[in-house]
Amino acid sequence: MKNLKKSIDVPEKAMNAVFALCGFLAVAFVLVITVFLVISGIPAIGKIGITDFLFGTTWASTAAQPQYGILPFILTSVLGTAGAIVIGVPIGLMCAVYLAKMSVGKSTAVVRTAVDLLSGIPSVVYGLLGMIIIVPLVREIFDLPDGANLFSAIIVLAVMILPSVISVSETAIKAVPKEYEEASLALGATKTETVFKVVLPAAKSGILTAVVLGIGRAIGEAMAVMMVAGNVANMPKLFQSVRFLTTAVASEMSYSSGLQRQALFSIALVLFVFIMIINLILNFVVKRGDSNE
Amino acid sequence: MKKFITTLLAVGISAALAGCGGTSPTENVTAQTVSTDGSTSMEKVIGYLSEAYMSENSGTKITYNPTGSGAGIQAVSEGRCDIGLSSRDLKPEEAETLDSEVIAIDGIAMIVNPQNPVSDLTIEQIGKLYKGEIVNWSEVGGSDAPVVLIGREAASGTRDGFESITETEDACKYTQELTSTGDVVQTVSSNPNAIGYASLASVKDSVKLLSVEGVTPTTETIQNGTYKIQRNFVFVTPKNKELSEAAQSFMDYALSVAADEMIEKAGAVPVKR
């Protein structure tokens, strides 16, 4: 009997070690990436000067007199993400309400499958469709010389954040106790009033989580926006060609050298800081939601 | 704290392992190396040539350091590489100590949407268009519509070549900066007011090829020099020093008929013999 136990013990312990190793591997990756980005991103900021870098309005990395101001990229990323949230969150939220409360039988399955598929579509496909359909459409509808601009990027990003917004807020809405709803209906409120005045406020923290996740997805997207935003380093205007933080790194990295390359790492560092802040907010929102319950 | 130390150890060990990988002598000791250094625009040409050459001559390794034409010429004159790569011709003072050999020609085609009635532009008009001095197609004989300037990202060799020939360096008012030739062709084909530039080899039927100063770009007009938006891809070697056997052999290959196919694959035009 003792022997049998031992023979089970050995693989058990070995597997424990493997699990632990894999767990720490993730930590190691995060640490390595952080350390790498900080080490390779700091020197250029030092050489360019932090105010010139963060608040400079001209990016001309290959000019005879190079300038490395990334304010246009920062503002574009912030505005593009905000625009995507403004358009994407209401649609996603109402879709989630439909899935959680209104739909019945087959239609639920159809909508849910579509949302799942939407999340599985690679970003390059979103970009391609944006480039071939949205960009010419925006050009014609708004009578512009060219349709590759911030607005097209916002549309593409709004569609891209839908799946995460829908699935997280649907879960949150479903978690609202049924009694709340029944009480509201029993008091004579209509279904719509119940949804907007009782269910959504009760699911607030979950919906906030969905919004923050959407922000994270939108600000980190590179491929799709690169194909629809035009990529000129202008200060952002709705109908002008713009460049995001992500695309600034992606479009020049393959050829860059010297200070230009270091500056690209610095942009990546700025983007990383943004994502970290968003994650901290997410943690805060989730924690506060937990303590409320 | 204990967890933190464990993590640090893991990171340290993996770093050490990576270090070992780098130093282990995997290369053949007898292998010869040909080092090239210079123009970033020549990356594709050198890539195709060296790959084809190395597949036939396994004993030779060809390295490429993308630093820019000026830096490549500097490197070869100081003996830091075997062959310097330049996408411009040598200046007279450089030619005193260095030899140059044109291995290929880069022909840059101007493309517009098939709906655009314009079919010919002068280099001066192209320069003015891209500098934003001409903003409406009617000023160059087209319809009354705004000009949409499509270009490549700042680090592109095609952009570098285009801007230096049309003398628009750092002055272009692009509407879109795209990261590949294919994107440029696609965008121009979908916007009736767009103009773009691309390597001649990658132009497709979906866009209209412009003639420049009356000359349509073809392999022939590029080779005889009548089509103006072109530049030479040059191998630069020192005058006073013999090339190593391997470097000479690679250079002979690059200048041979066998290399033409590779040069075309890379989007450039071979030299006429």
Q: Give residue A291's pLDDT.
A: 61
Which CATH code, of 3.60.40.10, 3.40.50.1110, 3.30.1490.100, 1.10.3720.10, is assigned to A73-292?
A: 1.10.3720.10
Q: pLDDT tens digits for A192-230?
A: 999 999 999 999 889 999 999 999 999 999 999 998 998
Of chain B, the percentage scoring pLDDT greater than 90 comes to 39
Q: Give residue B213's pLDDT.
A: 92
Residues of A in contact with B190 (CB under 8 A): 131-132, 135-136
Of chain B, the percentage scoring pLDDT greater than 70 comes to 89
Is B175 in contact with A131 (Cβ distance < 8 A)? no
Of chain A, the percentage scoring pLDDT greater than 70 comes to 94
Kindly report the nearest CA distance between residue A227 and chain B, in angstroms. 8
On whether any CB of chain A is under 8 Å from the CB of B185, the answer is no
Minimum Cα–Cα distance from B157: chain A residue:
A255
Minimum Cα–Cα distance from A147: chain B residue:
B191
Encode chain A in three state secondary structure: CHHHHHHHHHHHHHHHHHHHHHHHHHHHHHHHHHHHHHHHHHHHHHHHCHHHHHHCCCEECCCCCCEECCHHHHHHHHHHHHHHHHHHHHHHHHHHHHHHHHCCCHHHHHHHHHHHHHHHCCHHHHHHHHHHHHHHHHHHHCCCCCCCCHHHHHHHHHHHHHHHHHHHHHHHHHCCCHHHHHHHHHCCCCHHHHHHHHHHHHCHHHHHHHHHHHHHHHHHCCHHHHHHCECCCCCCCCCCCECCHHHHHHHHCCCCCHHHHHHHHHHHHHHHHHHHHHHHHHHHHHHHHHHHC
Angstrom distance (rounded) from CA B196 to CA B129? 11
On whether any CB of chain B is under 8 Å from the CB of A40, the answer is no
Mean per-residue pLDDT over chain A, rounded: 89
**Domains defined for chain B, CATH in brackets:** 31-104+233-270 (3.40.190.10), 107-230 (3.40.190.10)
For residue A99, pLDDT over 80 is answered with: yes
- What are the backbone dihedrals phi and psi of residue A280, each rounded to the nearest 5 degrees, phi first? -65, -45
Residues of B in contact with A231 (CB under 8 A): 153, 176-179
How many Å is the maximal CA-CA distance in chain B? Answer: 76
Give the three-state DSSP class for B270.
Answer: strand
pLDDT band of A292, cuts 50, 70, 90: low
Residues of A in contact with B39 (CB under 8 A): none
For residue A40, pLDDT over 70 is answered with: yes
Highest mean pLDDT among B8-17, B151-160, B253-262: B253-262
Structural contact between residues A202 and A180, judged by C-beta atoms closer than 8 angstroms:
yes
On whether any CB of chain B is under 8 Å from the CB of A63, the answer is yes
Q: Considering CB atoms only, which of B3, B156, B170 is closest to A60?
A: B170
Q: pLDDT tens digits for B99-123?
A: 999 999 988 999 999 999 999 999 9
Listed range (A13-27, B83-97, B130-144) with the worst mean pLDDT? B83-97
pLDDT band of B94, cuts 50, 70, 90: confident
Q: Give residue A286's pLDDT.
A: 78
Q: pLDDT tens digits for A149-189?
A: 999 999 999 999 999 999 999 999 999 999 999 999 999 99
Q: Considering CB atoms only, which of A32, A60, A61 is closest to B11?
A: A32
Q: Is A287 exposed, middle or buried (0-12, 13-18, 19+ CB in 10 A)?
A: exposed
Highest mean pLDDT among A80-94, A277-291, B87-101: A80-94
Residues of B in contact with A261 (CB under 8 A): none
pLDDT band of B21, cuts 50, 70, 90: very low
Which residue of A18, A140, A232, A252 is the best one to mutate when testing the B interface, meaning the one whose CB has the most B CBs within 10 A? A232
CA A50 to chain centre: 26
Is A31 in contact with B190 (Cβ distance < 8 A)? no
Minimum Cα–Cα distance from A261: chain B residue:
B155
Is B154 in contact with A250 (Cβ distance < 8 A)? no
Q: Give residue A258's pLDDT.
A: 77
Residues of A in contact with B169 (CB under 8 A): 64
Q: pLDDT tens digits for A236-261?
A: 999 999 999 999 998 887 666 778 88
Structural contact between residues A24 and B9, judged by C-beta atoms closer than 8 angstroms:
no
Structural contact between residues B260 and B201, judged by C-beta atoms closer than 8 angstroms:
no
For residue B28, pLDDT over 60 is answered with: no
The angle formed by the CA atoms of residues B197, B49 and B225, to the nearest 5 degrees, is 45
Is B177 in contact with A250 (Cβ distance < 8 A)? no
Name the B residues in 196-235 with CB < 8 Å from any A CB: none
Q: Give residue A255's pLDDT.
A: 66
Angstrom distance (rounded) from CA B114 to CA B144? 16
The angle formed by the CA atoms of residues A47, A50 and A53, to the nearest 5 degrees, is 85
On whether any CB of chain A is under 8 Å from the CB of B248, the answer is no
Q: How many CA atoms lie within 13 A of B243 on its CB side?
A: 22
